[in-house]
Chain A
Amino acid sequence: MSVLQIPVTAADHIQGDPHAHVTLVEYGDYECPACGPAYPIVKAVQKHFGKRLRFVFRNFPLTQIHPQAESAAETAEFAGAHERFWEMHDGLYENQGTLGLPLYLSLAEALHLPEKALSEALEKHTFKPRVRSDFMGGLKSGVNGTPTFFINGRRHDAAYDFDDLVAAIDAELAQAETPD
């Protein structure tokens, strides 16, 4: 079974309680047609578990088949550098059908982020090393497509609809919360 090789650190984009018993890591691509439907599922799973679950998103853009995936990932990282990662992440998935510079600029405007700085960062690929570093870590961890989930460091090879993710996380919680 493939195991997450890159531990979750403060450098990651993290939602939820840092002391949660279960960490769900997603390697995702903003243009991937399977990641789009996974986005509301993850939201529902987060809501279901509340403080008992920590969620981490890492980039895994498949740039050859998804021409907007890299620029979308870099846009989210730009927003992350301005402490608005999750708002941009959500905005990108909620507008997956219209990815491209006009959308990025309009999302940036709505988030009060400097649009000119975003354009420059995209032109210079300022955040490409960060995206590539996520991608490399994913490759080494056995990410084999998008989305790939890891639950407490182990690759989740089963389906990722709501019931499957909840069942897998429940199993981890049962283990973590059982007194020795």
Chain B
Amino acid sequence: MTSASAQPPPAQGQEKATQLLQTGTKAPDFSLHVTPDQCLSLSDLTGKPVVLAFYPADWSPVCGDQMSLYNEALPEFEKYGAQVLGISVDGVWCHDAFAKHNHIHFPLLADFEPKGAVARQYGAYREGDGFCERALFVIDRKGVISWSYLSPVAVNPGADGILHALEQLPN
């Protein structure tokens, strides 16, 4: 992830000033482009758990980057009926190329205009850097945040926390 690797990685993501929306908070609704001519709203997904994964940028050079990992893990997320959404400040065409190149089978949302507006609402925007944190949210069937996690921006947080949070959701 070129843009973030130029930044000094924080020692501990949880100690940074960014305050993620916490467990028990109603997840703010949003509507963002998922393709050049289609938008997706969080409220469209009411009734199913949502994994919302903010990430700094498409085109990470890391082998098995975060979105590719979630792509491989989709069958496991689907066991919980969960919908995974990736979200970054990249534009729709960038997402489109990235998704095609890596065969990504879940929506990548463009928090592009106004830039980072949704990330800011979730406390997942890096002011100054101009891109999203590496922040995870699991949102329950009623649209309430049941788990959130802020990873150091240079560290792919993996899927273990998400799977654990999905396991804990009431059916």
Contact = CB atoms under 8 A, between A and B. Distances in A.
Interface string A107-138: 00000000000000000000000000001100
A163 interface: no
Interface string B136-165: 000000000000000000011111110100
Interface stretch (A42-50, A86-94, A142-150): A142-150
A157 B157 CA distance: 11
Contacts of A65: 64, 68, 102-103
A65 B153 CA distance: 23
Interface of A: 2, 5, 29, 32-35, 60, 62-65, 135-136, 139-146, 157
B155 A144 contact: yes
A157 B155 contact: yes
Contacts of B157: 144
Contact of A62 (B64, B76, B158, B161): B64
B62 interface: yes
8 contacts: A2-B160, A62-B63, A62-B64, A65-B64, A65-B68, A143-B158, A144-B156, A145-B62
Q: Which 4 A-B pairs have the closest CB atoms?
A: A145-B64, A144-B158, A144-B156, A64-B103
Nearest to B154: A157
Interface class of chain A by DSSP: loop
Nearest to A35: B63
A57 to B, nearest CB: 16
Interface string B60-81: 0011111011011100100000
A73 to B, nearest CB: 13
B163 A146 contact: no
Contact of A63 (B72, B156, B161): B72
Contacts of B76: 136, 139
Contacts of B73: 139
B63 A34 contact: yes
B158 A2 contact: yes
B64 A142 contact: no
Contacts of B160: 2, 5, 139-142
Contacts of A145: 62-65, 69, 156
A142 B158 contact: yes
Contact of A64 (B102, B158, B159): B102
A32 B63 contact: yes
A146 B156 CA distance: 11
A110 B161 CA distance: 43
